[in-house]
Amino acid sequence: MTKSLQDKVIIVTGAGRGIGREIALLCAGEGAKVVVNDPGGAADGAGSSASPAEEVVEEIKKRGGTAVANFESVAEAIPASKIVKTATDHFGRLDGVVNNAGILRDMIFHKMSVEAFEAVIKVHLMGSFYVSHAAARIFREQESGSFVHFTSTSGLIGNFGQANYAAAKLGIVGLSKSIALDMGRFNVRSNCVSPFAWTRMIGTIPTETEAEKARVEKIKQMGPEKIAPLCGYLLGDSAKDVTGQIFGVRMNEIFLFSQNRPIRSVQRSEGWTPQSIAEHGMPALKGSFYKLDRSADIFTWDPV
């Protein structure tokens, strides 16, 4: 069987554990040379260890694949650019980037610290920008390349206690679309994936109530290995016409998410006043208002 990523060079950030690890292993199994990036921090970003990235590289080599470890943080521009340099220094080119690295600092909004908000934005949103920006010049010159960015239903739909994470993850959607628009002329693709999987980060979800415990038990059924095939596909040549999209993966389900478009309008020839908006404009629009749903309110059926 033909390997879909034969001889391509792929960077996977946050690849020491969880979803990133499974993506790195799949890419290597599909013939790619993989840069396994992970500074080895805790779920909240604290600390560092070379072991997670090194262990994934060893596993890839044991299976007959090719990989190199990188321990830089994506949260600063210069270290992030060194991840891309690792790819070109070791393998001479770069074909794909998976922006998977992430941390969580959950807290209800009025109690969330500035530091907790900024830390999550730096890793998720700024990190995705820094790595993508460093790779973009290479993709531009060779007129090919694929970005896979990780978003979340916390941003796409909503969740409690995750203002930092939701803001970052919805920001990534805008970043991905802009890359797709700006770089499409150079055959560069950019897509988002929203994963449903049990990982170390999801392990920080509170389980104080029976409903929360039940929700977490359902999530535990969804292994991170289920996310990897779609990412492998999006990195390959068979996805050459797929760009600017938002996908979701939940066990064996693949979703295509909608994107923001106008759904209803009101018009008044003489213009509006605050009073006429209150009396006529807003009542006409209210029928189409979105409820304050959380992800679990939308995905009400069990994973299949």
Q: Give me the active site residues, please.
A: 165
Q: What's the rounded Cα separation, in Å, for the pair 74 and 86?
A: 13
AA identity, residue 22: E
- The DSSP 8-state label assigned to residue 125 in this structure reads I
Q: Read off the tokens for 102.
A: 């992430």
Residue 149 host element (H or E): strand 145-150
253-256 and 246-250 strand pairing = antiparallel
Please, what sign has the CA dihedral across residues 85, 90, 94, 96? negative
- Torsions phi, psi of 37, nearest 5? -95, 130
Q: Is 45 helix (H, G, I), strand (E, B) or coil?
A: coil
Instruction: Kindly report the length of the chain.
Output: 304
